Amino acid sequence: MSSPLLAQVCNSKIKATSPDERYQDNGDGSVTDKKTGLEWSRCSVGQEWEAGTCTGDAQPLLWSIASLVATTTDKPANKNKWRLPELKELSELVELQCAQPAINLSIFPATPASAFWTATRFANKDGSFWQVQFILGETIPERGDYTALARLVRSPK
């Protein structure tokens, strides 16, 4: 039995929390958040930036693998390394005006309505880390031996 495809739902009566003008397109599959200065990959790990959109499938990863992928991703010599975002950083991408997914799809196209790992440990339980659920934009702790998606970020140099 297949499940119906869900389309993003947005409420224009709610003020956008992550509007297009907040981001500068770097022309290389990344954007810079003008509010925080952070540079974000437009695609989830497993996807490729092609012809102005993200293609392929986002890869569900254990936290340890997501963290390893982040630190081994190629970088230009003049840039800082990609990494998993902290909880506060990833939460900045939540678009409260929208759900399923709760993210600006014109900036982060083809983002699944799913959980994404952060680098932030959940202090009350060993081996657990915070996730941002881009279904409704909620944050939850989850064990690192579960799988979730990842979006990479890097700090300004």
What's the CA dihedral at 102, 14, 4, 135 to 10 degrees?
20
* Assigned domain for 55 exists: yes
What's the total number of domains in the chain? 1
* pLDDT tops 70 at residue 137: yes
Question: Is 70 domain-assigned?
Answer: yes
4 pLDDT above the threshold of 90: no
Percent of the residues in the chain that have a pLDDT greater than 70, as a whole number: 90
| 2 belongs to a structural domain | no
Residue 3 is assigned to a structural domain of this protein: no
Percent of the chain residues past pLDDT 90, beyond the cut: 82
Instruction: Tell me the pLDDT tens digit for each residue of 78-126.
Output: 467 899 999 999 999 999 999 999 999 999 999 999 999 999 999 888 8
Q: What is the pLDDT of residue 47?
A: 97
One-letter amino acid at 101 equals P
pLDDT at res. 32 = 98
CATH of the domain at 35: 3.10.100
> Could you give the CA distance from residue 94 to residue 103 in angstroms, rounded to a whole number?
5
pLDDT at 156: 82
List the beta bridge partners of residue 128. 143
Residue 13 domain-assigned? yes
Q: Identify residue 140 by its one-letter amino acid code.
A: I
Confidence of residue 3 (pLDDT cuts 50, 70, 90): very low
d(CA 143, CA 129): 6
Cβ-count burial 97-136 (b if 16+ within 10 Å, e if not): bbbebbbbeebbbbbbbbbbbbbbbbeeeeebbbbbbbee
Report strand pairing: 128-133 vs 48-50: unpaired
Whether residue 143 is contained in a domain is answered as: yes
Q: 40 lies in which domain range?
A: 9-154
For residue 127, what are its two tokens?
Answer: 């081996």
Q: What is the pLDDT of residue 135?
A: 96
Residue 4 maps to a domain: no
Q: Looking at the domain assignment, is residue 33 inside a domain? A: yes
Taking each continuous run of H as one helix and of E as one strand, the counts in the chain are 2, 13
What is the number of alpha carbons within 13 Å of residue 109 lying toward its C-beta? 13
Tell me the average pLDDT across 25-50: 97
Which pLDDT belongs to residue 74? Answer: 60
Cα separations (Å) of 55 from 20, 33, 50, 114?
Answer: 20, 22, 7, 17
